[in-house]
Amino acid sequence: MGSNASTLLRDEEIQEIEEQTGFSHKQILRLYSRFTSLDKTSSGRLGRSDLLRIPELAVNPLGDRIIQSFFADSPDGNIDFKKFMKTLAIFRPIRKSDGPGAVNSVENKLKFAFKMYDLDGDDKISKDELLVVLEMMVGNNITDDQLGLIADRTIKESDQDNVGHITFENFSKALERNDPGQMMSIRFLN
């Protein structure tokens, strides 16, 4: 299938994707093969149901939120290979050659993580949003009261401006000691 993938993807497209994402030629071909195997209709586009066939996303408690991020700028609910690669590139490990504006920069990784919690897209994480995401992550393993206490404590510890919610700046400060560049990276085969 690898040779089939290379004939369907033009060299100019591969080079453009390399420049935009930092993935190697070989990685792009491998991921294109994966993309085409998910594309059951051979339309060159994937929908949400196609991404749900990725086992790691299907079992991830935040899988639906991650999948939703692929379609953020997609009015028709489908993505092409380039959009697929741009979203995956956020999770590419940071290399010394990556500049501060790289798609996989620590700041972009943090923005992605922040959006996982900012359910209404208002650039702040409220206690209610935090509760919804925490419930997604832990399911029925702890009580609503315990979830409420965790959310209250998280807001209190992260809300340096004392405004009752978490801003992106405070979110970033709270996570910077945990090495988000490493924490939000996936190793892609070469």
Residue 164 lies in a domain: yes
Q: Report if residue 67 sits inside a domain.
A: yes
* Helix ranges, the chain (H): 2-8, 11-21, 25-38, 48-51, 55-59, 63-70, 81-89, 106-117, 127-138, 144-158, 168-175, 180-183
**Lookup: tokens for 110:** 């943090």
Residue 2 has a pLDDT of 41
Distance, in Å, from the CA atom of 181 to the CA atom of 79, rounded to the nearest integer, reads: 26
Instruction: Kindly tell me if the per-residue pLDDT of 15 is higher than 70.
Output: yes
- Report CA dihedral (115, 117, 120, 121) to the nearest 10 degrees: -20
- Same domain for 119 and 179, yes or no, is yes
Find the distance separating the first CA and the last CA of the chain, reported in whole Å.
16
- pLDDT category at 190 given cuts 50, 70, 90 is low
Boundaries of domain holding 131: 106-183
Quick check: 113 pLDDT over 60? yes
Residue 190 lies in a domain: no
pLDDT tens for 125-149 read: 999 999 999 999 888 889 999 999 9
Q: Is 96 within the bounds of a domain?
A: no
What's the pLDDT at 189? 64
Per-residue pLDDT, 1: 40
28, 55, 89 - which closes a domain: 89
List pLDDT tens digits, range 43-81.
999 999 999 888 888 888 888 888 888 888 888 999 999
Is there a single domain that holds both residue 84 and residue 112? Answer: no
Separation between Cα atoms, residue 51 and residue 37, nearest integer Å? 11
Q: Look at residue 120 and tell me if it is in a domain.
A: yes
Listed residues 59, 89, 119: the one ending a domain: 89
